[in-house]
Amino acid sequence: MIDLTQYVKDATRTESHIDTVTLDPTYLATVMQIFIASGNLLDQIKKNVFYGKPIEDEKRNTELKNVVLSLDQLNQHVNSLGQVAVTIAVDPRIFHAILGIATEATELMEALTLVFSTQNVDNINILEELGDLNWYEAIAIDALAGDFEQVLNANIEKLRARYPDKFDSNRAIHRNTESERTILAENIDESQKVHPESSDS
């Protein structure tokens, strides 16, 4: 079994380093809004299929409107794309890791799309993308001075609290997020906790 501490060391050895993130903030923000809205739509599908939660028309329509609005904004901005570059106040390593996780998730969605068209599951490709996703996770954990094993243990403790016996649809839909946040905080060293002002999830 691979040692997770060594995995993080090996992952960061092949990491690309930059001093600052400089880009077109309007383009970034608009593309992120499209990604988030699409992700929320997929989340509704997931909860409908696996938890039996009905898709809420109002939430679905709001996300669809967000996609359309963002696409319209993107089209309006495309002529000036690349003309404005601003340094973003974000840790480049965390930015790289989160962007990488998002793009690997996109590649997994592409693999799932192929299943519908070919009826074949490309196990090697899916496992490769999962490995790449873990590489970006390792970068983020290292950038946050975290510990991979501790992150995984905290996740299991949270799930034990949510599902004491086994999966339960009602518990999946109606979560006690405050209690789960407390469990996560208790299972992560003080030095590795995210400052309150930087996250409320």
What DSSP letter does each residue of 7-72 carry, written as one string?
HHHHHHHT----S-EEE-HHHHHHHHHHHHHHHHHHHHHHHHHHH-PPPPHHHHHHHHHHHHHHHH
- Measured distance CA(177)–CA(183) in Å, rounded: 10
Average pLDDT across each block of 10 residues of the chain; the chain has 201 residues. List them in order. 93 96 92 96 97 96 95 83 84 98 97 88 94 98 94 94 94 92 83 43 34
Q: What is the pLDDT of residue 196?
A: 40
Q: What is the pLDDT of residue 18?
A: 97
Q: What is the pLDDT of residue 201?
A: 34
- The two most distant CA atoms of the chain are separated, in Å, by 56
> Which one-letter DSSP state was computed for residue 119?
S
Q: What is the pLDDT of residue 106?
A: 97
The 3-state DSSP composition of the chain as helix, strand, coil percent (nearest 5) reads: 70, 5, 25
The answer to whether 172 and 46 are in contact (CB under 8 A) is no
Q: Which of 163, 165, 155, 162 shows the shortest CA–CA distance to 186? A: 155
| Exposure string over 180-198, b if 16+ CB within 10 A, otherwise e | beebbeeebeeeeeeeeee
Domain residue ranges in the chain:
1-16+90-144
**Residue for token pair 């739509």:** 41
Global pTM value: 0.87
